[in-house]
Amino acid sequence: METLIYMAIGFLVVVFVIRRFIAKSHTRQDVLLEKLRAARKENQSLVNRTRKLLEETDHE
């Protein structure tokens, strides 16, 4: 009976650790995705500025 209790506690600990690991990996993915979106937005603004400058130099 004692062994069964220890096995149940061990199982719960393993489940808890796996859930924490999955939650951390999702958090890391969210952070990376946010950084990617910010970089994309910055690149798009650079592209727009470059186009604007090219149009201005073409008119001159």
Whether residue 8 lies inside any domain: the answer is no
- The pLDDT of residue 59 is 76
- In the predicted model, is pLDDT for residue 9 greater than 80? yes
The two three-digit tokens of residue 12, written as one number = 């719960």
Answer yes or no: is 1 within a domain: no
6 located within any domain = no
Tokens of 46: 């650079």
In the chain, the percentage of residues whose pLDDT exceeds 90 is 68
Per the domain annotation, does 34 fall within a domain? Answer: yes
Q: Which residue has the tokens 């004692």?
A: 2
Numbers of helices and strands, H then E, in the chain: 1, 0
- Note the Cα 6 to chain centre separation in Å: 37
Residue 53 domain flag: yes
Return the amino acid letter for 18.
I
Domain count, the chain: 1
In a domain, 40, yes or no: yes
* Amino acid at position 10, single letter: G
Q: Is the pLDDT of residue 10 over 80?
A: yes
Residue 60 has pLDDT above 70, yes or no: no
pTM of the model: 0.55
In a domain, 37, yes or no: yes
